[in-house]
Amino acid sequence: METKYLALPGPTYVEPDVLLEMSKPIFNHRNSKFKELLIDVTEKTKKLLMTENEVFFLTSSGTGAMECAVVNCFSRGDKVLALINGSFGQRFADIAKQYEVEVIEHHGTWGKGFDQEKIKEIINEHGDSLKGITIVHCETSTGVLNDIKSISELRVSEDTLLLVDGISSIGAESVETDQWGIDVILTGSQKVLALPPGLAIIAFSHKALLACENSKLPKYYWDIKTYRKFYKEKKETPYTPAIPLYTGLLKQLKELESKGFEKEIEKHKNISNMVRTAIRAMGLELLNDDHVSANTVTPILVPEGIDLKEMRTILLKKYGVDVAGGQGKLEGQIFRIGHLGNVEPLFVISVLAALEMTLKELGHPLEIGTGVKAAQEFWFDGK
């Protein structure tokens, strides 16, 4: 059976009208039509990110944008604090280490938020010598939403840059780039924006752009000075852009703006609480507590006696539901239900029903319909 319910934390379901928009004939990326398109998506993306910072688009995955952030902001030997409580926080750190940046790894507990006092101690210890902090907003591997605003306020030096991976949060969580003092923030097309993979978005503050001028790390495709020059002088990208993704992005940004960015965040919050309510009603255990849970993904501990691989196989082959497994140290211990982008209540109900039937088939003791009923009741009464 083909996948009917893509319940992953990315890539996400793409609406047919968006695919249709993207299927229109390709045009010259050096003509006025693309210039107008690029200006439009740039200005609307600034609204999404709540920023006046400069925004750039990369034909890459989100990981490409993470590397772009590192190579433009730092030089060899620069001291950078990497805050890690999941596999993507570790990825940010590993990218920096590849370029011989001096990375101070601070590990929080997977599935938990950070201890602010411990972070404050590290920042105070290094003071002005700390060139940057890397952190993931929504740590997709654990479903934890990290407190970016509070961590930003812990900096003791104005020269310390804050680099934020917002790949799984932008559009579904409140992100006030300028108010929170975020210097670099990045996201990808395949998450809340509900487009195919392949387009990354990255924004640099004035302070971060000054750091770009002094960075000595090697770069060619990722050199943001080149992107900046082309946009300022020509309203173009320096290299061939993924034109269909830009046309799809403009359509999605218009849709989000017309709905209201805050309403979209509220929808994701309600969907997340709906899923968590249902999982508890089914007698399953959530990985993280409500106060640190993200709006976009729900990690669930694999029930005792259940083979995760077999469970995921039945879900996919019999019911067309694709859920994610765990990553890193949580591999085999959790599965994750993604609920971001175009997700709606009926989608969630279908995924929960398939999960109940699969667990029942595997001999797990639960009463069919308990999760579905709890989800429906929450949607009508609790949200």
Written as one string, the DSSP assignment of 200-225 is EEEEE-HHHHHHHHH--S--STT-HH
Beta-bridge partners for 57? 201
Burial of 236 (0-12, 13-18, 19+ CB in 10 A): middle
User: Quick one: the chain helix, strand, coil %, rounded to 5?
Assistant: 45, 15, 40
Write the CA distances from 8 to 168, 263, 283, 324, 336, integer angstroms. Answer: 11, 22, 22, 6, 7
Written as one string, the DSSP assignment of 154-206 is T---TT-EEEEE-TTTBTTB---TTTTT-SEEEEETTSTT---S--EEEEE-H
Here the tokens at position 121 are 């101690």
DSSP 349: H
- Could you give the CA distance from residue 361 to residue 365 in angstroms, rounded to a whole number? 10
| Of residues 198, 209, 339, the one with CA closest to residue 278 | 339
The answer to whether 336 is annotated as binding is yes
| Of residues 37, 43, 40, the one with CA closest to residue 24 | 37
Output b/e per residue, 61-87; b: 16+ Cβ within 10 A: bbbbbbbbbbbbbbeeebebbbbbbbb
Beta carbons within 8 Å of 315's beta carbon, 6+ residues apart: 321, 322, 323, 354, 355, 358
- Report angle CA 318, 322, 323 to the nearest 5 degrees: 125
For the chain, state the CA radius of gyration: 21
Q: Which residues are annotated as a binding site?
A: 336
Q: Which residues are annotated as a binding site for substrate?
A: 336
